[in-house]
Structure 1
Amino acid sequence: MPASPRTARAINDRLALRLLHEHGPLTAGRLKQLTGLSRPTVADLVERLAAAGLIEVVGESGEQRRGPNARLYGLVAGLAHLAALDVRTEGVTVLVADLLGEVLAEASVPIVGGTGTGPAVEQAVTLVERTAKEAGVDRLHTLAIGAPGLIDPATGELRDSSGLPEWHRRLVAALQERLPARVIVENETNLAALAERRDGAAREHDTFVLLWLGHGTGAAVVLDGALRRGASGGTGEIGFLPVPGTGGLPSARDCEGGFHALAGAAGVIRLAERYGVTAPSAEPGEHAALLVRAGIAGGAEDFLDALAERVAIGVSSVVAVLDPGCVVLGGEVGRAGGEELAGRVAERLAGMSPLPTRVRVGELGGGAVLRGALLTARDAVQESVFAARLG
């Protein structure tokens, strides 16, 4: 059954808005080429979107061309604004952007250990308010927050997680109370995976796993283009995976007997000590990363091989269950190991699994979580604004 005129218009409108977002300002003629629609249909579409306040004339195409056919149409970027937050145990980074995801302001605040829950929450909320003001934004439509720990898929709330400060859980409620904005919370590894799929190492893959190697360990699973969170939000809690070499088994509240003990920051630091690799002291995740960099720079082959064997144990388990075809190494340690570590892991994986799997390094570095939060907020804002304006 053919679509009704109203449905057809809605489909065409969304297609045009998507193309304007992906390609930037376009003429009506270029929209006709990209959509395959007739000239009258495109003309009606442009008029309808302009009347809805979603697009506007932003210039003309070509110095020699003048008139209606040369007008460049673009999305109205200032229709709504968003904020993206990367929440870590040691601080918060926030950016404020427009409807197109163009960053207008960015700032960070450290939250030192020992800071009380109330003062820590106040620092973070004040940072968001101040950054929005610096961007010239009076009202934020949506905030997307990337944080470590489990996110309840039913409520979207950050669940109790051992080792995380209490202010993490209190922050969401405080933001909702102080700001008239929608708040979305997502696990940091999941956001990094979304960013790597859009703009980074997994651009060519609809199915892949991002393995986070940092202070802790985690994995984000993307299957057939969809992020998988699991029944309780725990998909990818690879730190609890029972593996050989830990001398014990993980418990419901302690992953020290699992993969975390091998590849988490503390395990990497102990491994480096065993092989005599040293680096300046820092926060656990960064210290482990510095040790890996020192091992590469100093040619500590035995240390790097041992680390690759540990990582390959976790990767092989994931590959055996999911067959993702691609594993992206992220987090501080994954980034520090770079191609040197990825190559060693791939070599060992090839000897452990019959399933062909590419091992790649994340391309977005330390900004992957914030980029994923930005993309998540931008998509949510556009969906809401377009739906409200088009009806």
Structure 2
Amino acid sequence: MAASPSTARAINDRLALRLLQQEGPLTAGQLKTMTGLSRPSVADLVERLQGSGLVHVVGETGDRRRGPNARVYGIVADRAHLAALDVRTHSVSVVVSDLLGATLAEASQPIDGDTPTEPAVERAAALLERTAREAGAVRLHSVGIGAPGLVDPVSGELRETSGLPAWHRRLVAALHERLPATVLVENETNLAALAEQRLGAARGQDTFVLLWLGHGVGAAVMLDGRLRRGASGGAGEIGFLPVPGTSQLPSALACDGGFHTLAGSAAVCELGERHGLTPDPRPEELPAAAYVRAALAAERKGEPFLVALAERLAIGAAAVSAVIDPGRVVLAGEVGHAGGPALAARVEERLAAMTPLRTEVRAGTLGGAAVLRGALLTARDAAQDALFAPGAGDPVTAH
């Protein structure tokens, strides 16, 4: 059945907006070429989008001809303001951007582990509100939150997890209550994978696995362009993976004896001490990352440590590869970032000896910004889905 004229117009409008978002400002002629629409159809859609307040003229080409083909159109970036939060165990970071993702303001604040729940929530929420004001955002449209722990795939809520501060879950609820905005929460490892796919080491990859190597270990699974969260949101809880080289098996209550025992921060530090490394930690740096940096700086003296660490990481990567065959593994988190391409190359070499499945190993390129970038992408996608939808010109949706 052919689409109705109104449906066809809506589809064409969304297509044009996506092109303007991805390619930047375009002329009507360029939109005609990219969409395959006729000149009158493009003229109509440009007029509709300008009338809705989503598109405006941002300049003119050098073409001497007068008329709409010489004008350059772009999305009205301040039509909506977005925010992203990276919620860690002892801190929170915030960034506020426009509809196109340009950073307008950012801030971070430590939150001590002994801070009671309500004061911790108030500090984090106040930081967001203060940063939004500094950015000139009168009203936020969408807020993306990255946090450790499991997110329920049905309710979209952060699940209660032992070992994580209670204020994490309360913050999400508080922002729902305080803000007239869409609030979305996602596991930090999944957000890092989204950011690396769009902007970093997995760009152009529809299928890959990201290994998060920080205080603990985790994995994000991207299959056929979609994040796979599992039935309960627990896909990627690789810390519980039973592996050789440990003295016990993990249990339902703790991941001791699992892959976490080989590759978690404490295990990496113990390995570094055993190899006689002397780290020089930077302020607020994860100690395990400092050991990796020390090994790289020590060159030949640090090689045995790097080989041993690569062997451990390859064990977890081989188990994942045997089940998923991702084609590429990205090492992220503080340890993955500190190790960089040098550690990734060693892991790939060891992995090739463990599995017949060809698997590239790459270091994440976004470093500590990966989670925040992923949260901002999530907020931006939500805002654009809402604003680029039919009827987006309704004043109720303007922010």
Q: Same fold (TM over 0.5)?
A: yes
1:160 Cα offset (Å): 1.5
Q: The residue matched to 2:26 in structure 1 has which SS? A: coil
- The aligned length equals 391
CA shift for structure 1 position 103: 1.2
- Quick one: distance in 2 between partners of 1:282 and 1:246? 30
| Distance in structure 2 (CA, Å) of the matches to 1:65 and 1:369 | 47
Give the structure-1-normalised TM-score: 0.97
- TM-score, normalization by structure 2: 0.95
Query: Does structure 1 residue 389 correspond to structure 2 residue 388?
Result: no
**What secondary structure sits across from 1:298 in the alignment?**
helix
Amino acid at match of 2:208: F
Q: 1:253 — aligned with what? A: 253
* Structure-2 change in CA distance of 1:156 and 1:283 (3 Å): farther
Q: Which residue of 2 aligns with 1:231?
A: 231
Describe the SS at the equivalent of 1:193: helix
Residue 48 of structure 2 aligns to a residue whose secondary structure is helix
AA aligned opposite 1:8: A
| Residue aligning to 1:279 | 279
What is the distance in 2 between the residues matched to 1:285 and 1:319? Answer: 30
Alpha-carbon distance, 1:56 to partner: 1.2
Would you say the 8 A contact 1:28–1:69 is kept in 2? yes
State the match for 2:333 in structure 1: 331
In the TM superposition, residue 381 of structure 1 has moved relative to its aligned partner by: 0.5
Distance across 1 between alignment mates of 2:361 and 2:192: 16
- Quote how far apart the aligned CAs of 1:67 are: 3.6
Aligned 8 A contact 2:118 2:167 in 1: yes
**RMSD over aligned Cα, in angstroms?**
1.5
Match of 2:141 in 1: 141
Task: Measure, in 2, the Cα distance between the counterparts of 1:206 and 1:121.
Answer: 37
Q: What is the match of residue 366 of structure 1?
A: 368
CA contact (8 A) 1:162 1:253 kept: no
Q: CA deviation at 1:68?
A: 2.7
Which residue matches 2:114? 114
Q: CA deviation at 1:280?
A: 3.6
Which stretch shows the higher mean deviation, 28-37 or 276-285?
Answer: 276-285
**How far has the Cα of 1:282 moved from its partner?**
7.2
Structure 1 residues 27 and 305: alpha-carbon distance in aligned structure 2, compared to 1, 3 A threshold: same
Shift of 1:243: 0.6
- Amino acid of the structure 1 residue aligned with 2:392: R
Alignment of 1:211-226 (within 5 A): 211-226=211-226
**Runs (4+) of structure 1 moved beyond 6 Å?**
282-285
Q: Residue deviations 1:146-179, cap 9 Å, x none?
A: 0011111111111122221111111111111221
Query: Corresponding residue for 1:179?
Result: 179
Contact 2:63-2:70 at 8 Å conserved across structures: no
**Which residue number corresponds to residue 169 of structure 2?**
169
Matched residues in 1 for 2:375 and 2:11: separation? Answer: 27
Whether the 8 Å CA contact 2:209–2:220 is kept in 1: the answer is: yes
2:397: which partner in 1? none
Q: Say whether the 8 Å CA contact 1:117–1:167 is kept in structure 2.
A: yes
Match of 2:358 in 1: 356
Unmatched tracts of structure 2, length 5 or more? 395-399
The equivalent of 2:289 in structure 1 is: 289
Instruction: Tell me the CA shift for residue 214 of structure 1.
Output: 0.8
Unaligned runs of 5+ in 1: none
The residue matched to 1:141 in structure 2 has which SS? Answer: strand
1:321 aligns with 323
The alpha carbon displacement at 1:78 in A equals 1.7
What amino acid maps onto 1:139 in structure 2?
R
Identity %: 70
Q: Secondary structure at the match of 2:245?
A: coil
1:99 matched to 2:99: yes
SS of the equivalent of 2:286 reads helix
Task: Name which of structure 1's ranges 308-317 and 60-69 shifts more when overlaid on structure 2.
Answer: 60-69
Q: Name the residue aligned to 1:57.
A: 57
